[in-house]
Every structure is written in structure tokens, then in C-alpha cells.
Amino acid sequence: MHTSTEHDLIRAAKDGYARQYGAAPEVVRFAPGRVNLLGEHTDYNGGFVLPMPLGLGVAIALGRGGAPGELRITSGEFEGEALRRASETATGAWSDYVLGGLKALVEDELAQTGLMVFVDGNLPVGAGLSSSAAVEVCTIRAAAELFGRNVDPVDLAVMARKVENDFVGMPCGIMDQFSISVGAPGSALFLDTRTLEHHPAPLPDGYNFLVIHSGVSHQLTDSGYATRVAECKAACAALGVEMLSDLTVDDLARIDAIAEPLNRRARHIVTDNRLTREGLAALEAGDAEAFGRLMIESHATERDNYEITVPETDAQVEAAVALGALGARQTGGGFGGAIVVLVAEAEVERFCNEFQDRFPATRVLAGI
């Protein structure tokens, strides 16, 4: 399990910056990754989500210097320094998330100054834990501090999502940026993605949510995610609604009558919306067993209706439950990545040993 904390990452980013650029950074900021507990792919359908921030994350060190409009961007995780210009568009490189975040907040200032950026982090890429959103939010946080801008966390989330949609070109919803910017460690965040109404939800005492990398990495800019977004639009047209969250499980007969696979895509959205609402109630009641059952149901609809799971995560979720977990499901954008498992605290060690014996390619990343 990773043990680096926010404090360790901030230090690593500071040291990395000093090594790379031969000076101390002017500001260093942290942003966590997130794990989603319930409500998958509901966010671009105006639905409900229930994510929580992780201890894992990214830290970004920033300082002014160099020619106006020139950005030097280095990462402790990837080789080499990226030299970008503030006038550039996205190229598909990891540094796009930094460049996009900077342009979103301080495009005018970048014409006056150069910037040096060092990024460090411990969020595995392609694990469904929002490493890209963490970089976007962290970049904007650091730039806001450096240039003396006061940005409200909700506005920051909206801005970071725009970076992903309009600059990077990934048609995601707002869950990741919102939970990273607004969420607080130690609790889940219930969010209505249509109204942006949100409030914290308590985690059950005596239980841990384990975040386990399945060993299969995804690439959300591959076509799978965008295909689902397009299918939801087509399902809306077939059903005569603006957003799939205009419908509920009471509309399932109507939903089932439209063409395959659009009917199952819509069935997933209304089902996961129901499960997320029920999940909030279970957390508020401190009912871990009920929450676990909802996680299992959510994995089934991800697998059967939305078809975003892979054989490895299906097998791991099934095995986790057989090994005594209260619930388990694939989390995040899908097509692999991480699973999240709810286990009684007293069982965590035994569970992890038995699970990893059975699936040696998996990695327990966090326990909350």
C-alpha cells in the first residue's frame, strides 16, 4: 500500500522543482485523487454520484521565470521536460492537463511571464482514480495562489471540467473535478450533478473501503468512454428526454422498449441513480451491510447494462464477496482500472492477504 502523504508529496514536488530548475518554487499545492463509491457514468447524464477523496494525489510546484509565454513542465513520474507555449493547443501529452489548467485561469498573465512547473504524485494513471482531474485541479489551485486569484472550490471544479472537455477533448462529466476540489477527506460527497447541490455523507464506523488496482489499466481517451456518451445522447433522443436522469426506474418499461444497446445504457443510468440515492440513505443510517449490497448491484449493472467492466474486474469483484467483503464494484470510468471493496476493519488484513494470493497482479492502493 502507498504510504506517501500529502506532506511527502509536497516535499517531493519542492525538491524536484529545485533539482530541475535550480531555485525554490514560489508555491506548492496538493490535490487528491478520488474513488467513486456509487453512481458511475451518471454525471454526464444529470444524475447522482457518491465519490470521496483519497490520500493519494498530486503535488505541483510553480514558479515564475523564463521567456514570456514559455512553460517548462516536468514530472517526477514521466521522463523529460516538456517545453510548451501558452498559445498551444492540446497535443495528447500528459502536460496538456497542466497547460490547459494554466490557460483556463491565467492566460493573460502567461503572456507577461514564463513559468516553471514540477508535478509529483502517486496516483496510478489509468486506474479510474482521476489522476488527470487531480492535475487540473492542482494546477489551477497553485496558479490561483501564485497570481493572487481567489477561486471558489465549486467554480474551480467547473473550470477544471471545462479544461478536460474543451481543451483536452474528453467529454467527461463533473464528478472528478468536483469531488477533488470540493470534497473533504474522511467523508463521501453526495452530488446532484444537474444542480450541483452537494453535501458530505458519513463513512460507516468499523469498516474500510479498500481501493485495489485490478492490474488492467484503461485509457479513457480511447473510444469506449466517448461511445457511451454518444449512446446516452442517442437514448435521450429515442426516449424524448433531455437527459437520462429525467427518467427513473418507474420508466423501465418504456426504456426497455427502445433499441439495443441504448435500452441497457439508459437502464444502467436510472438504476445507478436509484442505487446512489439508496447508498446515501445507507451511509446516513450507518448501515454498511446495505451499502455493500448496493455496491454489488451497481457492479452488475456496470457489467450487464453499461458493459464497462472487464473479465478481470468481474472475477475480482465476485471473489472479493466470496472472501467476505460486504460489497465490491469496479470504480471510475471503466474498462479496467480499480475496484473498491467494503470490508470490516477487523477483516482487512486477512482479506488483503487472501485476495492478493488469489490475484497476484492486483495492488491494494488505499484503505479508508
Beta carbons of 173 and 40 less than 8 angstroms apart: no
Q: List active site positions.
A: 176
One-letter identity of residue 211:
V
Q: Which three cell numbers stand for residue 103?
A: 490557460
User: In angstroms, what is the minimal distance from the CB of 193 to ligand GLA?
Assistant: 9
Please identify, using beta-carbon distances, which residue of 20 and 131 lies nearer to ligand GLA.
131
Interaction of residue 173 with ligand GLA, rule CB under 6 A: yes
User: Of all helices (H) and strands (E), which one includes residue 213?
Assistant: strand 207-213
Please identify, using beta-carbon distances, which residue of 207 and 335 lies nearer to ligand GLA.
335
Please identify, using beta-carbon distances, which residue of 29 and 218 lies nearer to ligand GLA.
218
Beta carbons of 364 and 209 less than 8 angstroms apart: no
Beta carbons of 238 and 258 less than 8 angstroms apart: yes
Interaction of residue 101 with ligand GLA, rule CB under 6 A: no
Contacts (CB under 6 A) with ligand GLA, residues 326-345: 332-333
Contacts of 37 (CB under 8 A, 6+ apart): 50, 51, 52, 188, 209, 279, 291, 295, 331, 340
Alpha-carbon gap, residue 301 to 264, rounded angstroms: 9
User: In angstroms, what is the minimal distance from the CB of 173 to ligand GLA?
Assistant: 4
User: In angstroms, what is the minimal distance from the CB of 288 to ligand GLA?
Assistant: 22
- Which of these ranges, 88-96, 170-178, 253-261, 283-291, lies near ligand GLA under the rule CB under 6 A? 170-178
* Residue given cell 493547443 in the structure block: 89
Alpha-carbon gap, residue 324 to 248, rounded angstroms: 32
Interaction of residue 96 with ligand GLA, rule CB under 6 A: no
DSSP 67: S
- Which of these ranges, 172-180, 322-330, 347-355, 356-364, lies near ligand GLA under the rule CB under 6 A? 172-180
Among residues 135, 138, 168, 172, the one that binds ligand GLA under rule CB under 6 A: 172
Among residues 175, 258, 262, 342, the one that binds ligand GLA under rule CB under 6 A: 175
Please identify, using beta-carbon distances, which residue of 120 and 164 lies nearer to ligand GLA.
164
Contacts (CB under 6 A) with ligand GLA, residues 29-48: 36, 40-41, 43-44
Beta carbons of 113 and 64 less than 8 angstroms apart: yes
Beta carbons of 341 and 368 less than 8 angstroms apart: no
User: In angstroms, what is the minimal distance from the CB of 272 to ligand GLA?
Assistant: 9
Please identify, using beta-carbon distances, which residue of 76 and 124 lies nearer to ligand GLA.
124
Distance, first Cα to last Cα, the chain: 12
Interaction of residue 176 with ligand GLA, rule CB under 6 A: yes
DSSP 86: T
Measured in whole angstroms, how far is the alpha carbon of residue 180 from the centre of its chain?
8
Interaction of residue 57 with ligand GLA, rule CB under 6 A: no
- Which of these ranges, 168-176, 262-270, 280-288, 311-319, lies near ligand GLA under the rule CB under 6 A? 168-176
- ω into residue 153 within 30 of 0, thus cis? no
Please identify, using beta-carbon distances, which residue of 45 and 122 lies nearer to ligand GLA.
45
Residues in the interface with ligand GLA (CB under 6 A) total 12
Q: Which three cell numbers stand for residue 311?
A: 473479465
User: In angstroms, what is the minimal distance from the CB of 41 to ligand GLA?
Assistant: 5
- ω into residue 261 within 30 of 0, thus cis? yes
Contacts of 230 (CB under 8 A, 6+ apart): none
- Which of these ranges, 99-107, 113-121, 171-179, 343-351, lies near ligand GLA under the rule CB under 6 A? 171-179
Interaction of residue 272 with ligand GLA, rule CB under 6 A: no
**In the complex, which residues of this chain contact ligand GLA (CB under 6 A)?**
36, 40-41, 43-44, 130, 172-173, 175-176, 332-333
